[in-house]
Amino acid sequence: MSKITWRLACLLACAFFVACSNDDNTTPTVDPQAPTSGTWRVSLFSERGNDETGDFSGYTFTFNANNTAVAAKGGASKNGSWSIGNSSREFNIDFGEKSDANKPLGELTDDWEIISVSSNEIKLKDDNDDSAEFLTFTKN
């Protein structure tokens, strides 16, 4: 094999490995102060391809700086908690257990994987890929 052919083969192999590298170690874009400003609404909640966003119609969410959260609808409210994990990859929400009695807010209780957190949008996905859950909060 000539030197040019050998070098070309090595160059192509290197390009292939770089292009196929696993990108799971990329830290998402996170503004950790963003959730504490204003009120939010669920603009997307889907589970296994089913759009269940309508279950959260009329709810407003407040994420306080002390890691408490409040979901309010029609004069009633439910207290919960929230946090962003140390690695900025996890957004934890707790509005109580997932049960028929605590629907729909219990559906939000989870350790969500952060896609992005900005001043206008919080995009999350379930840390369990089998559930295929996606959650997006949009600032009101």
The domains of the chain are located at 28-139
9 has a pLDDT exceeding 60: no
List CB contacts of 46: < 8 A, sequence separation 6 or more: 52, 53, 132, 133, 134
Residue 4's pLDDT is 52
Cβ contacts of residue 71 below 8 Å, gap of 6+? 59, 60, 61, 77, 78, 80, 95, 105
- Residue 18, pLDDT score: 43
Q: Name every residue whose Cβ is closer than 8 Å to that of residue 25 and which is 6 or more positions away in sequence.
A: none
Query: Could you read off the pLDDT of 78-131 as tens digits, one per residue?
Result: 999 999 988 889 999 999 998 888 899 999 999 999 999 999 999 999 988 888
Residue 36 corresponds to which amino acid?
A: T
Residue 2 has pLDDT above 60, yes or no: no
Task: Provide the pLDDT for residue 31.
Answer: 85
Per-residue pLDDT at 58: 98
Q: Give pLDDT, residue 100.
A: 83
Q: Count Cβ atoms below 10 Å from residue 63 Cβ, excluding itself.
A: 25
8 A C-beta contact, residue 98 and residue 117: no
In this structure, which CATH number among 3.20.20.80, 3.30.390.30, 2.40.128.270, 3.40.120.10 belongs to the domain 28-139?
2.40.128.270
Using one digit for the tens of pLDDT, what is the confidence trace for 43-71?
999 999 999 999 999 999 999 999 999 99
